[in-house]
């Protein structure tokens, strides 16, 4: 079977108070390293994971912000955020963190904000969706 399967990882949970987002990022790094056509979508409360300026040290929790900032460097390049989920939570594109550096332009990259309809279309293209 082809090793260029289209795989999407959906992240749906709030970033703190549970380990879901942290372990979802670990899955992203591994799946990306297997050469699959990976896309990642942050939906619902998970959009908070992409908000800048977070620091979990006072919670005594390692957190995952360093990993978020290195997604592109580890070949997790197609990172999308649901526009409606952001609007529902008063987040705008300005609030989003950088997820790494574009290889060609060396510019800092942010996740791409997509309408639900575009995400739906992307989902239909996938061979597998890992819903985390």
- For other proteins, the binding residues (CB under 8 A) are 1, 3, 5, 7, 19-20, 23, 26-27, 30-31, 33-34, 36, 127-132
Q: Compare residues 20 and 74 and give the one whose CB is closer to other proteins.
A: 20
Minimum distance of other proteins from residue 108's CB (angstroms): 28
For other proteins, the closer of residues 115 and 123 by Cβ is 123
Backbone angles phi, psi at 89, to 5 degrees: -115, 20
37 - beta bridge partners? 6
Q: Which residue lies nearer to other proteins by CB, 30 or 94?
A: 30
Distance (Å, rounded) from C-alpha 2 to C-alpha 36? 9
Q: Which is nearer to other proteins, 12 or 110 (CB)?
A: 12
In sequence order, the β-bridge partners of residue 130 are: 9
Q: Under a CB-based contact definition with an 8 Å cutoff, are residues 24 and 132 in contact?
A: yes
Q: Smallest distance, Å, CB 125 to other proteins? A: 15
| Per-residue exposure over 53-85, b if at least 16 CB sit within 10 Å of its own CB, e if not | eeeeeeeeeebbbebbbebbeebbbbbbbbbeb
Shortest gap between Cβ of 16 and other proteins (angstroms)? 16
Task: Report in angstroms how near the CB of residue 50 gets to other proteins at its nearest.
Answer: 20
């Amino acid at each position: 079977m082809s090793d260029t399967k289209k795989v999407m990882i959906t992240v749906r949970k709030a970033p703190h108070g549970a380990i879901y987002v942290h372990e979802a990022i670990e899955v992203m790094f591994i799946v990306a390293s297997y050469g699959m056509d990976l896309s990642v979508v942050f939906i619902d409360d998970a959009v908070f994971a992409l908000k800048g300026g977070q620091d979990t040290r006072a919670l005594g929790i390692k957190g995952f912000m360093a990993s978020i900032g290195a997604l592109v460097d580890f070949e997790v390049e197609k990172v999308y955020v649901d526009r409606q989920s952001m609007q529902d939570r008063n987040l705008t594109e300005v609030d989003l963190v950088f997820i790494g550096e574009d290889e060609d332009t060396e510019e800092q990259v942010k996740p791409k904000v997509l309408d639900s309809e575009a995400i739906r279309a992307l989902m239909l293209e996938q061979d597998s969706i890992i819903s985390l």
